[in-house]
Amino acid sequence: MKHIDNIEELEQNLETVEFYLSEGTNSENDKTIKLIRAGACFVAYKISDELRFAPSRFVGYKNNKLEQHLNSEKDGRETNVVIERLMDNKLGTNEKLEISFQKYCLNLGIEPHKKKRKYWKHNLSQEFKANVNLDGEFPEGKISERKHKYRERNSKVAQIAKQNFKNQNGRLFCQVCEFDFEQEYGEIGADFIEAHHTIPVSEMQPGHITKIEDLAMLCPNCHRMAHKKRPWLKMTELKQLRKNANGNIN
């Protein structure tokens, strides 16, 4: 694997980490979180006043992707030398960044390994291209849309919320239209449902931690409809809209 040569390639890898956390598959999300949990050296970068952290062993390789990263030999000492050369600050321990990292891990639903970590602080030279290209339903802005998706991909909280819902109801189904993926598709649909964060990012206070009660179980169609209006439509409102529409059809 070739090392990065410039800041642009570093930021490309930072955006890849962001993508895996907010829009990647469940497997990509879980693997990326594991890399963060096990990391010792990180590039700290800020998006919309929120600090994020990417492990140096991942972002130090040119055009890195999870599959090639996990199946290749890696040496954090080599990537640290490369990143150090590109940064305008030195790698080192930082109490404030460590506290922010601990909060970041809480948002990811993980507890980081007990080890001494080191950090660089990096100011992004430009907005991520994926943020520019987003055409979503978030009036607060493209960054907020990615933050919201990122929070909804918080695997630990979502898994607990889904299991609690299943324990209470005996199965997983959409809380609006009652669509049951296992019932409709068989084994392939077992335990499939999307977790919708009912609190808009714009209303979250600094340091907000996702709670189980913040999440609702929705199918992809109802999930998208919930985001179509501001403030977001509540479950009762979505149900009423469906009832009105079906009544008009009949």
pLDDT tens per residue, range 123-135: 998 877 766 655 5
* Mean pLDDT (the chain, rounded): 86
**What's the pLDDT band for 242 if we cut at 50, 70, 90?**
very high
Question: Whole-angstrom Cα distance, residue 171 to residue 44?
Answer: 41
Question: Whole-angstrom Cα distance, residue 22 to residue 31?
Answer: 13
**pLDDT above 80 (res 49):** no
Task: State pLDDT tens for residues 173-197.
Answer: 999 999 999 999 999 999 999 989 8
**pLDDT above 90 (res 43):** yes
Q: Which residue matches tokens 């469906």?
A: 242
pTM across the whole model: 0.68
What pLDDT does residue 249 have? 44
Task: State pLDDT tens for residues 94-120.
Answer: 999 999 999 888 878 788 888 899 999
Closest to 117 measured CA to CA, from 139, 96, 143, 89: 96
Contact present, 191 and 162 (Cβ < 8 Å): yes
What pLDDT does residue 214 have? 87
Q: For the chain, what percent of residues have pLDDT higher than 70?
A: 85
> Which two three-digit tokens encode residue 52?
């994020």
What pLDDT does residue 250 have? 42
CA 66 to chain CA centroid, nearest Å: 15
**What's the pLDDT band for 5 if we cut at 50, 70, 90?**
very high
Which comes out higher in pLDDT, residue 206 or 10? 10
What pLDDT does residue 167 have? 95
What pLDDT does residue 177 have? 96
Strongest mean pLDDT among 146-160, 189-203, 233-247 = 233-247
As a whole number, mean pLDDT of residues 74-94 equals 91
**pLDDT above 80 (res 58):** yes
Q: Which residue matches tokens 């403030």?
A: 231
- For 196, phi and psi rounded to 5 degrees? -100, 125
CA 176 to chain CA centroid, nearest Å: 24
Task: State pLDDT tens for residues 11-39.
Answer: 999 999 988 887 777 788 889 999 999 99
